[in-house]
Amino acid sequence: MCANLQVVQMTGINWRRNEMCFIELILSKARLLRALFISYGGNVVMSSEDAINELLTYKRASAEAQVLFKGKAEEYY
C-alpha cells in the first residue's frame, strides 16, 4: 500500500495512538520515503518532545527518510 510513497504531509496531528500507529506504518513500509512532514493540531494528547522520542524508536524502511516538523497546523492555513 505505501511502499512507493516518497513525500508525505500530515496536518493537524494530535499525537493520538491511532495517528502514531499510522506514522509508524508509513515509516516501516515506505521503502522510497524521502520526507514525512508533520504539523500538529490544537488538541495534542502528549508533548511534542514525548512524541518525537517515540518516533525515534520506529523502524524505517528507507534509510533516507526524514521526519520534519512544521509547527502548529493553524500557522499554515
* Structure confidence by residue, pLDDT tens digits, 14-26: 999 999 999 999 9
Position 2 in a domain: no
Position 77 in a domain: no
pLDDT of residue 72: 84
CA atoms of 72 and 11, how far apart (whole Å): 9
Q: Which domain holds residue 27?
A: 7-72
Position 1 in a domain: no
CA atoms of 58 and 2, how far apart (whole Å): 16
Position 62 in a domain: yes
Position 42 in a domain: yes
The verdict on pTM exceeding 0.85 is yes
Please state the domain count of the chain: 1
Residue 12: name the closest of 71, 65, 59, 67 by CA: 71
Please report the beta strands in the chain, taking only residues with DSSP state E, as ranges in sequence order: 7-13, 35-40, 66-72
Residues 33, 15, 52: CA angle, nearest 5 degrees: 60
